[in-house]
Amino acid sequence: MTEYSIGLDLGGTNLRAAAIDREGKMLHLVTGRTQYSEGRDAIMTDMVEAITTVRDRQGATGLAGIGVVVPGFISLEEGVVRNCNNIPSLEDFPIRDQLSQRLNAAVILENDANAAALGEKWIGAGRDVNDLVLLTLGTGIGGGIICDGKMVRGFMGMAGELGHITVVPNGLPCGCGNRGCLEKHASATAISAMARLLGYGDATAKQVHERAVAGDERAREIFASMGESLGIALAMLVNAFNAPLYLLSGGVIGAWDFFAPAMLAEARRRSFSFRTTNTRVEKAKLGGEAGLFGAAYLPWAK
Amino acid sequence: MTEYSIGLDLGGTNLRAAAIDREGKMLHLVTGRTQYSEGRDAIMTDMVEAITTVRDRQGATGLAGIGVVVPGFISLEEGVVRNCNNIPSLEDFPIRDQLSQRLNAAVILENDANAAALGEKWIGAGRDVNDLVLLTLGTGIGGGIICDGKMVRGFMGMAGELGHITVVPNGLPCGCGNRGCLEKHASATAISAMARLLGYGDATAKQVHERAVAGDERAREIFASMGESLGIALAMLVNAFNAPLYLLSGGVIGAWDFFAPAMLAEARRRSFSFRTTNTRVEKAKLGGEAGLFGAAYLPWAK
């Protein structure tokens, strides 16, 4: 009997559940059908069904555990999401205990970016290091920290909220209450907002990237600005952790060539440790799968 | 035979070495005589003599090890100080190996603020927690991070350089190459510099504090500014670590009543986690002894 684990990733647009074995081989994948606009009950049912489908297929005998990752500030102790911009109906709802009850099995709840860092450490770009910091550049910016091989969770499970690091003290207002959060200056959403300010209308980050590729100087300036903000945050993270590896993931890293030079120059200027050590800043390897793999690894990471 | 360890703290003005037992009881204390202006050789000899005096007195039988803490960016692997503003003659010098050779014993080298965090965790304000972050507010600002009971060292031993976190992106220039480092806006030196800008001449942080106590509004404004800078950094550290306890140490914490309100208000505003969890921000307990105790604990912390 092959030992396996079930991971579920409640992503930005839909959910996926997978059976994954101890070596990181995906045995079975199920994608949810629910639109998040259908509300909490539909999402919960969809999660239970996806996990049940995978478990029925693989059999309960070899199941090491179930890990579920969701976006937002997680309270580990209570197993609830305190703040979830993408799926507000899940806020302050006992997701973990409800899932556990309906599945009749223990469930480990974790933040998506923390899980992504764990996934990259397990079978991705971070395999060869014991310490790494991951930033997920998407609608928002998430963070995950691996220290001495283990995920940094914090006493309430809210560690790694690196998208809310201040990079501009009196910068753009953020839903978290702060101003100038990294995610307001360097996420895909921030890129769109900057494009709008420059008169591009409703351009997506991808469209801004296409303009930059085509030689549009203002589009390139947007990525330079975003890169500088990332560099300020990166310098702080290097000064704090002195990790050998910093990973970036998310669709925006397709524009690496346009933002990375500004990011690295800023980090070099702002961090003595960065300038004087062989600190690597790289693209993550697992892409959109990192959270799913990290979710599956949770039962083994305890 | 009582097991004991020798710690040496190369402080800002002189050095101290102590024999400390496993329960944190100081058995013997020696203070160095050297003026740092006498140069590297004199300092090295003073360190060797202080440690030898303590060892001779206690006997080598029960000695668990020797820990030495110095200010500055330490390269753990090489056992050298890469950047030491207070004692430039020690930069890039193989302190650890030289001490080890002259003492004929293994020596563990560590940064002073990291050691202070370890000391506070061992027998100070952090006894009851597994995670804490310490900021030492002095001439500069040092940082020490304890995660899951262990010191965060980083792959080159340079973690915890929290005085160089950017709090004002285009703020005051710092010797580390950055601008707007926390220590340029919130250390004792920063308080003096702000006082000078307000026409107070060469006032020390202590004198500015006395003026604040006497009701001087501009002196109070200096501490409010310093508190805000600390609050920006604190919010970032709370978002990153979600530790239950953040400690401040150094002479400046005597002015707690003048800077803490601004610091805590800023942290509350800038950190969702801070607002919604019972995160404690407190004065460290061991004062100037934290580094010495942390140094002695190093052999047991491995």
pLDDT level of residue A195 (50, 70, 90 thresholds): very high
Residues A13-61: pLDDT tens digits? Answer: 779 999 999 999 999 999 987 777 888 999 999 999 999 999 999 998 9
User: Which member of A159, A168, A179 has the closest CB to residue B242?
Assistant: A159
In angstroms, the separation between the Cα of residue A270 and the nearest Cα of chain B is: 4
Residues A77-96: pLDDT tens digits? Answer: 888 888 777 778 888 899 99
A104 has pLDDT over 80 = yes
Which residues of chain A are within 8 Å of residue B237 when distances are taken between CB atoms? 240
CB spacing of B162 vs A243 below 8 angstroms = no
A9 has pLDDT over 90 = yes
Residues A241-275: pLDDT tens digits? Answer: 999 999 999 999 999 999 999 999 999 999 999 99
B interface test, pick of A270, A274, A281 with most B CB neighbours within 10 Å: A270
User: Which member of B148, B162, B236 has the closest CB to residue A166?
Assistant: B236
In angstroms, the separation between the Cα of residue A229 and the nearest Cα of chain B is: 10
Nearest to A262 by CA among A214, A212, A300, A296: A212
Q: Alpha-carbon distance B282 to B248, whole Å?
A: 6
User: Which member of B156, B241, B275 has the closest CB to residue A159?
Assistant: B241
Kindly provide the residue ranges of all beta strands, DSSP E only, lying in chain A, ordered along the sequence: 4-10, 15-21, 26-31, 63-70, 73-75, 80-83, 107-111, 132-137, 141-147, 150-151, 245-249, 280-283
A75 has pLDDT over 90 = no
B34 has pLDDT over 90 = no
User: Which member of B165, B169, B272 has the closest CB to residue A164?
Assistant: B272
- Residue appearing with tokens 């061992």: B122
Contact B164, B182 (CB under 8 A): yes
Triad A136, A139, A142: Cα angle to 5°: 30
Give mean pLDDT, residues B227-244.
98
B83 has pLDDT over 90 = no
Contact A130, B153 (CB under 8 A): no
User: Which member of B150, B158, B242 has the closest CB to residue A158?
Assistant: B242
Which tokens sit at B293?
């105790």
Q: Give the residue from chain A lying closest to B175, CA to CA.
A: A272
Q: Alpha-carbon distance A162 to A229, whole Å?
A: 12
pLDDT level of residue A11 (50, 70, 90 thresholds): confident
B226 has pLDDT over 90 = yes
Which residues of chain A are within 8 Å of residue B161 when distances are taken between CB atoms? 239-240, 242, 272-273
Q: What is the pLDDT of residue A113?
A: 93
Mean pLDDT of chain A: 94
Say if A270 is an interface residue toward chain B (CB within 8 Å): yes
The distance between the two most distant Cα atoms of chain A, rounded to a whole number of Å, is 60
B220 has pLDDT over 80 = yes
Which residues of chain A are within 8 Å of residue B131 when distances are taken between CB atoms? 154-155
Q: What is the pLDDT of residue A71?
A: 85
Which residues of chain B are within 8 Å of residue A143 when distances are taken between CB atoms? 240
Which residues of chain B are within 8 Å of residue A82 when distances are taken between CB atoms? 272, 276
Give mean pLDDT, residues B89-117.
94
Q: What is the pLDDT of residue A88?
A: 81
Percent of chain A with pLDDT over 90: 83
Kindly provide the residue ranges of all beta strands, DSSP E only, lying in A88-160, ordered along the sequence: 107-111, 132-137, 141-147, 150-151
Sequence-ordered list of residues with C-beta below 8 angstroms from that of A219, at least 6 positions apart, any chain = A195, A200, A208, A209, A211, A212
Give mean pLDDT, residues B267-274.
96
B interface test, pick of A237, A245, A272 with most B CB neighbours within 10 Å: A272
Contact B262, B227 (CB under 8 A): yes
B87 has pLDDT over 90 = no
**Full-model pTM:** 0.93
Nearest to A264 by CA among A276, A277, A274: A274
B12 has pLDDT over 80 = no
B267 has pLDDT over 80 = yes
Q: What is the pLDDT of residue A46?
A: 94
Which tokens sit at B47?
């360190």
A257 Rama class: left (phi>0) / alpha (psi -120 to 50) / beta: alpha
Going B165 to B171 to B175 to B178, the CA torsion angle's sign is positive
Sequence-ordered list of residues with C-beta below 8 angstroms from that of A91, at least 6 positions apart, any chain = A72, A80, A81, A82, A83, A84
Q: How far apart are the first and last CA of chain B?
A: 22
Say if B275 is an interface residue toward chain A (CB within 8 Å): yes
A interface test, pick of B128, B166, B271 with most A CB neighbours within 10 Å: B166
Q: What is the pLDDT of residue B37?
A: 81
Residues A145-171: pLDDT tens digits? Answer: 999 999 999 999 889 999 999 999 999
The single-letter code of the amino acid at B171 is G
Which residues 99-158 on chain A approach chain B with CB closer than 8 angstroms? 129-131, 143, 145, 147-148, 150, 152-158
Mean pLDDT of chain B: 94
Which residues of chain A are within 8 Å of residue B143 when distances are taken between CB atoms? 240
Q: How deeply is B184 buried, as exposed, middle or buried, from its count of CB atoms within 10 A (0-12, 13-18, 19+)?
A: buried
Identify the three-state secondary structure at position A271.
Answer: coil
B13 has pLDDT over 80 = no
pLDDT level of residue B60 (50, 70, 90 thresholds): confident
B86 has pLDDT over 80 = no
Triad A235, B191, B134: Cα angle to 5°: 50
Which residues of chain A are within 8 Å of residue B276 when distances are taken between CB atoms? 73, 82
B229 has pLDDT over 80 = yes
B33 has pLDDT over 80 = no
